[in-house]
Structure 1
Amino acid sequence: MFSTAYTRLDDVDWATWKAQQLATLLFVVRDGQVLLIHKKRGLGAGKINGPGGRLDNGESAMQAAIREVQEELRVTPLGIEYSGELSFQFVDGLSIHVEVFRAGDCDGEPQETDEAKPLWAPIDKIPFEQMWADDRHWIPLMLARKKFSGRFLFDEDTMLGYEIEIIETRDGRAKTVHDHNARRTQTVLKPLRQRIDEPNEKNS
């Protein structure tokens, strides 16, 4: 990796930005709880997150999300719906685009594997302090079935800036961010449509 001059979100030319890696996250939400993992290896090892990982050649994002849940927790997600997209730029040069999915249930009981240990968390007691700093800003939108698009700048674990937008169609119904008929709401929640550049946020 190489060091960049990025110190603020606006330093990134998002109009021409292209991710080096494509990845997915999938959250099973049922009975007032969300299925998370203690990640054992790879980027974010030691943190709590949702199951997910990089796309294999020829896979769609949804196919990759299902495969990752199966590999990490030995269950198959059911009732899957698209939630949003996340674009991450790291100052060391790494860039990742993540598509996020939500599932209403899973077939089987989650099991610990070499990659992850399962954790069911009440949706009102999600351990954000043990997660990536961006999670607290968009996971509530996913839980509320809001479609979203987020951009984030990180220096290792420290979040230097972010912007999150809720996506709606002109008739008010939620739609994916890739739909050319979608429009971005101007004012929905106070933290949204707002670039945050300081103070920096870091996971404990």
Structure 2
Amino acid sequence: MQDATLCHPVVDGELLLIRKQRGVGEGKLVGPGGKVETGETPAEAAQREVREELRVDPVGLAKRGEFAFHFRDGEADDDSMYVHVFAADGVDGEPRATAEAVPEWHPVDDPPYGEMWVDDRVWVPHLLAGETFAGEFVLSDDGESLRRYEMEIGVDLE
């Protein structure tokens, strides 16, 4: 399973998301992130991905969760990922659009769940509340419905 990251900066009550321009989830609003490269820690990968996608550096990075993400029930496949989820309490710089991502700010009390992955409705509220979590999400092959999930709140991520 491929290790990947997501980072969700929150600044002055606003959540920084990106509109994916290509790849898995194209057109959806997601946190900046991507694959962990050889020799990187998940935190280093999260920082690099935010920098590459938005031309800013996340500040106050803190791991909030981790989960397995699959498109096929009961089996890992080429699209399966083990996602390390981070929050950031700021960004250094002004987010800019890149070929991969267009930045959008949204109120933390009203995330645009209708434009996000269906599993985000389950775990993003815990991230925004400062809680830690771990779990597994299985989506339909088209990624539009949640087949099943398991999640534990208040886990030790060390």
Aligned partner of 1:140 among 113, 122, 125: 125
Residues 89-113 of structure 1: per-residue CA shift (max 9 Å, x gap): 2218232100000111110000000
| Counterpart residue number, 2:21 | 40
Q: Does 1:100 align with 2:81?
A: no
Question: Offset at 1:163?
Answer: 1.4
Residues 136-178 of structure 1: per-residue CA shift (max 9 Å, x gap): 111110011100012111122122111111034xxxxxx31xx
| Counterpart residue number, 2:105 | 120
Q: Distance in 1 between matches of 2:137 and 2:41?
A: 23
Alignment TM-score, normalising by the size of structure 2: 0.92
Corresponding pairs, count:
152
State the SS of the aligned residue for 2:61.
strand
Q: Does 1:31 align with 2:12?
A: yes
Q: Does 1:50 align with 2:31?
A: yes
Structure 1: gaps of 5 or more residues: 1-18, 169-174, 180-204
Q: Does 1:151 align with 2:136?
A: yes
Q: Distance in 2 between matches of 1:81 and 1:100?
A: 9
Q: Distance in 1 between matches of 2:110 and 2:71?
A: 28
Aligned partner of 2:150 among 158, 163, 166: 163
Q: Distance in 2 between matches of 1:105 and 1:89?
A: 30
| Counterpart residue number, 1:67 | 48
What does 1:11-22 correspond to in 2, within 5 Å?
19=1, 21-22=2-3
Question: Offset at 1:88?
Answer: 1.1
Question: Offset at 1:22?
Answer: 0.8
Q: Does 1:129 align with 2:114?
A: yes
State the SS of the aligned residue for 2:43.
helix
Select the structure of larger CA radius of gyration. 1
Q: Distance in 2 between matches of 1:62 and 1:154?
A: 26
What does 1:179-194 correspond to in 2, within 5 Å?
179=158
Structure 2: gaps of 5 or more residues: none
Identity of matched residues, %? 47
Select the structure with the greater relative contact order (CA < 8 A; seq sep ≥ 6): 2
TM superposition outliers: structure 1 runs of 4+ over 3 Å: none
